[in-house]
Every structure is written in structure tokens, then in C-alpha cells.
Amino acid sequence: MKPLAIILEDEHEIRDLLEFILKEAGLRVKAFPDPRSFLSEEKETMEADFMIADNHMPYMKGLDLIEHLKNNNIFFVKHVAVISGSWTEEDLEKARALGCRTISKPFGMFDIIGWIESCEGEFISQFLTP
């Protein structure tokens, strides 16, 4: 089965772009506009291979959601990246403490693909070859 990626991004253009990139990389994708919809809808799948979360979303910051998931053992994610157009030192420190990769906006397709490949190595590369 293909790896599963969860996207949490309130800007639909960016969410659609991330979904396209990840599907082109051969991943299954579930996308959500905010943490509240993710927490209310995502009850069946209790784990994912990848999660990309915007840090500035309605209702809850991406880093706060990840901290909540980890502290309460609600949802297991192997690899997490947090994206933001404005990082504070506090957010960067929290991301490091949570084991998250930080990606700055604007980002390119290869920033995302490079992160996925660094997490899974050759496993993902097989999906990128025609």
C-alpha cells in the first residue's frame, strides 16, 4: 500500500498544490483546511507516514496540534513537516523539540519532494520514476 500523507493547510491554493505534489510522488493524501476538521473527521486512520501542517491556521497552530497528538497518543505520524511564512525563534525551537522539519513559505516542489525522499530514501524514489 502506498504511504499516507496528511495535509493541514487553511489556504486552499497551497493545500491543492501540496496535494498535487504528494499524489505525483505516489502517496495517498488526505487534506484538511484546519486542525478542527482533522480532529473531528480523522477517526478511522490512526496513523500516517507523513504530515505537513501549516503553523498558522484557524483554531490551533500546527505545532500545537502536533504537540497535542504526540502528548495524547491520538494519532501516530512517522514524519512531520511544518510550513510557515513567518517563523519565530520560539516556533523553531518547538519544532526542533517535536522532531519536525520546518519549511518556509514560499516553497517549491523540490523542497517537499526532497523532504519526503530524505525521510524514506529509496522507498519513495521508486514512485518518482516513470
* Edge-to-edge strand list for the sheet holding 28-32: 28-32, 4-8, 47-54, 76-84, 101-104
What is the tally of helices (H) and strands (E) in the chain? 6, 5
Strand, helix or coil at 36?
helix
* pLDDT value of residue 124: 45
Confidence of residue 122 (pLDDT cuts 50, 70, 90): very low
Omega before 106 within 30 of 0, i.e. cis: yes
Task: Look at residue 32 and tell me if it is in a domain.
Answer: yes
Task: Look at residue 31 and tell me if it is in a domain.
Answer: yes
Task: Look at residue 45 and tell me if it is in a domain.
Answer: yes
Task: Give residue 69's domain range.
Answer: 4-124
CA–CA gap between residue 67 and residue 60 (Å, rounded): 11
User: pLDDT tens digit string along 94-104?
Assistant: 999 999 999 99
CATH code, domain with 52: 3.40.50.2300
User: Taking 70 as the threshold, does the pLDDT of residue 125 lie above it?
Assistant: no
Task: Look at residue 130 and tell me if it is in a domain.
Answer: no
> Total domain count for the chain?
1
* pLDDT value of residue 121: 66
User: Taking 70 as the threshold, does the pLDDT of residue 60 lie above it?
Assistant: yes
Q: Torsions phi, psi of 27, nearest 5?
A: -95, 155
Task: Look at residue 129 and tell me if it is in a domain.
Answer: no
